[in-house]
Amino acid sequence: MKKGQLFLGLILFFCVVVKAQMPPDVNKIQCMFGPEFKISFANVFTPNSDYRNDNFVPEVQNPICIESYEMTIFNRWGQFMYETHVYNKGWAGNDIYGNLAQEGTYFFIVHYRKMQIDDKPSPDVTEKGFFLLAR
């Protein structure tokens, strides 16, 4: 180019806008089409270190569907013994100081909410019951 000449060029930009959707939540798909969510509790447990039934822990089918969880355990006099927010972390039969709890009847309260699958919020569920600690 010589001095004084102006180079005029045309630059074309192509812009393609694609409406992308996030992939569906795999956990929600498993909750919708996987095995039915169920939670159940044993009526006795034996924390005697034989690696069989040593913790009071619920049996949960399709646990991926749990959005929130809390289990609290009380002795027969209503004294607090244990609390967890993890469904597969059970009670080993100790008091809050780490001492072995006495044999006998204990009570549990479990609050949980299943994962919301559609537009309706999932209700909070409370289950209560009792079980026997046998050594």
Q: So where are the chain's domains?
A: 32-133
CATH 1.10.1060 given to domain 32-133: no
Give per-residue pLDDT as tens, 49-94: 999 999 999 999 989 889 999 999 999 999 999 999 999 999 999 9
Confidence at residue 120, expressed as pLDDT on a 0 to 100 scale: 78
Confidence at residue 129, expressed as pLDDT on a 0 to 100 scale: 98
Confidence at residue 16, expressed as pLDDT on a 0 to 100 scale: 46
Give per-residue pLDDT as tens, 20-51: 444 557 777 778 777 788 999 999 999 999 99
> SS in 3 state form for the chain?
CCCCCCCCCCCCCCCCCCCCCCCCCHHHHHHHHCCCCEEECCCEECCCCCCCCCCECCEEECHHHEEEEEEEEEECCCCEEEEECCCCCCECCECCCCCECCCEEEEEEEEEEECCCCCCCCCEEEEEEEEEECC
d(CA 27, CA 30): 5
When comparing pLDDT for 135 and 17, which is higher? 135
When comparing pLDDT for 81 and 116, which is higher? 81
β-pairing verdict for 80-84 and 66-75: antiparallel
Confidence at residue 12, expressed as pLDDT on a 0 to 100 scale: 46
**pTM value?**
0.76
| Type of residue at 24 | P
